Amino acid sequence: MCGEVSLHNVITIDHGNESHIFAGKKLFTDDNVWQYCDISDDQLHRIWSTTTIRPNFCPRNGFFYNGTNAKLWEIMTDKIMIIRDGEELSVDDYECLLSIPDDYKDGSRSKDRKRYGQGFGQNYTRKQAFMRSLILKKAQSL
């Protein structure tokens, strides 16, 4: 027997004319690709509206640096999965991660131990530490 799970934030029918916009609250199942201008979620918008851009176009990252694309990719992916799974989204999980540099450079052989977005003595939550590792790994690959 097959059934369809319907969560109140996942829209599978009657998409309307805003299905191409990602605001971080609802997930429309017909679109899996968004243009930067279609991302209206506040945190994601702050990432892609950075003034730290490349002077020349890069075929891999466009005018954005690796850190900008890594933050956007990993945080948006996580938000989409949370909406899809019907869980409660907490913007606090991501706020400190926005301070990871847009032009991320992993210049040392040891692990990057900087606590981006954290003051002295503050620690990441388990989720923040995991998301930080995903972002840095993605930035290194870009």
| Phi, psi angle pair for 43, to nearest 5° | -65, -45
11 near 27, Cβ under 8 Å?
yes
Residue 4: pLDDT over 50: no
Residue 1: pLDDT over 50: no
- Full DSSP string of the chain: -------TTEE-S--TT-TT-B-SS-EETT-----GGGB--HHHHHHHT-S---SS-BTTTBTS-HHHHHHHHHHHHHHHHHHHTTPPP-THHHHGGGGS-SS----SSS-----TT--TT----HHHHHHHHHHHHHHHH-
Instruction: Quickly state the pLDDT bin for 3 (edges 50, 70, 90).
Output: very low
Residue 15: pLDDT over 60: no
22 near 75, Cβ under 8 Å?
no
Q: Which residue has the tokens 């977005």?
A: 117
Average pLDDT of every residue of the chain:
77
Percent of the chain residues past pLDDT 70, beyond the cut: 65
Rg (CA), the chain: 17
Q: Which residue has the tokens 């990993």?
A: 74
Q: What is the mean pLDDT of residues 12-29?
A: 59
Is pLDDT larger for residue 89 or for residue 22?
89
Strand partners, 27: 10
Instruction: Quickly state the pLDDT bin for 81 (edges 50, 70, 90).
Output: confident
Per-residue model confidence (pLDDT) at position 49? 86
